[in-house]
Amino acid sequence: MSITSVQNEKVKAMAALQEKKHRDRSGRFIMEGVHLVQEALQAGADVETIVIDMERGVPAELRTLLSNADCELIEATPAIMAKCTGTDSPPPVFGVVAKPYADRSTLFKSDSLVVVLDGLRDPGNVGTIIRSADAVGAHAVVLGKGSVDLYNPKTVRSTMGSLFHLPVIEADLSELLPEAKRHGIKLVGTSLQASATCYGFDWKVPTWLLMGSESQGLSAEVLAQVDANVIIPMHGHSESLNVAMASTILLYEALRQRSYA
């Protein structure tokens, strides 16, 4: 199928997915660029539509995947590509994907390693943490209320495809954290006043790592649920680490202890 008018109803519906209310209503979101489309197709995500810039043609990396893909394929003008992706330099391809069903049972495994984000607003930080969780083989990432929308185009881009590799669950932490405690899971935060370093802490037990917002840290409600706090040692003059960097350090220490100690 080819579409050349930006007034086409299908184009309007896809462009509307730039807004959260339309993503929530339709249960769909936009992924942009060759890499994300490639990752989604390889992961077996529920890709409904793929749109290709008719002037640039099918990207070489996607030719085989698209020939076997069970989804709608559309060729569109550069103007349509720009309208639907909201960028001045639109990608050569984008897709419309159904939001995945996230099975919460994966949260409570006997060796659970989960990252819980409380009020993180920066798409880049959230995306990086999802990538790090994917890299170490964590079981899931949980986004608490007040965090950035997972399906915001900037967040989706920043996950670099890891969004399709592990469950990312949006949840009410006031309900979920007590449930984790009932399953015997240890809730761990970070604090500059903590006596235990991240290297002296036992990450081999079922653990959820709780990370707070970039400016405020963990909310008082979540902080009250924390079982233990750790500190990342710093020998230089930096006062603190970016939340995504700190999360990555802690996740890799958990991986080291669980797989390489």
Same domain, 115 and 89: no
Task: Please report where in the chains the tokens 């495994």 appear, as a residue.
Answer: 109
Place 1 in a pLDDT band, splitting at 50, 70 and 90. Answer: confident
Could you give the CA distance from residue 211 to residue 126 in angstroms, rounded to a whole number? 10
Task: Please report where in the chains the tokens 């899971």 appear, as a residue.
Answer: 185
pLDDT in tens, 88-129: 789 999 999 999 988 888 999 999 999 999 999 999 999 999
Number of independent structural domains in the chain: 2
Same domain, 92 and 109: no
Q: Is the pLDDT of residue 241 over 80?
A: yes
The CATH number assigned to the domain holding 33 equals 3.30.1330.30
Phi, psi of 110, rounded to the nearest 5 degrees: -65, -25
Same domain, 160 and 64: no
Token pair of 213, please? 């917002």
Burial degree of 157 (CB within 10 A; 0-12, 13-18, 19+): buried
Could you give the CA distance from residue 261 to residue 11 in angstroms, rounded to a whole number? 53
Cα dist from 182 to 108, 175, 179, 221, 257, whole Å = 10, 11, 5, 17, 24
Q: Which of 35, 64, 98 is the last residue of a domain?
A: 98
Q: Is the pLDDT of residue 68 over 90?
A: no
pLDDT in tens, 174-226: 999 999 999 999 999 998 788 899 999 999 999 999 999 877 889 999 999 99
- The beta strand positions in the chain, using DSSP E, are 2-3, 28-32, 47-53, 72-76, 93-98, 113-118, 140-144, 168-171, 186-190, 196-197, 207-212, 228-231
Task: Please report where in the chains the tokens 């954290």 appear, as a residue.
Answer: 177
Same domain, 14 and 76: yes
Burial degree of 88 (CB within 10 A; 0-12, 13-18, 19+): exposed
Same domain, 29 and 144: no
Cα dist from 82 to 101, 196, 247, whole Å = 29, 50, 34
Same domain, 76 and 112: no
In which domain, by residue range, is 47 found? 2-98
Query: Quick one: pLDDT at residue 193?
Result: 80
Q: Is the pLDDT of residue 29 over 80?
A: yes
Percent of all residues in the chain with a pLDDT value above 90, rounded to a whole number: 86
Q: Which of 53, 82, 98 is the last residue of a domain?
A: 98
- For residue 101, the 8-state DSSP code is P
Could you give the CA distance from residue 189 to residue 210 in angstroms, rounded to a whole number? 5
Could you give the CA distance from residue 41 to residue 14 in angstroms, rounded to a whole number? 19
Same domain, 226 and 157: yes
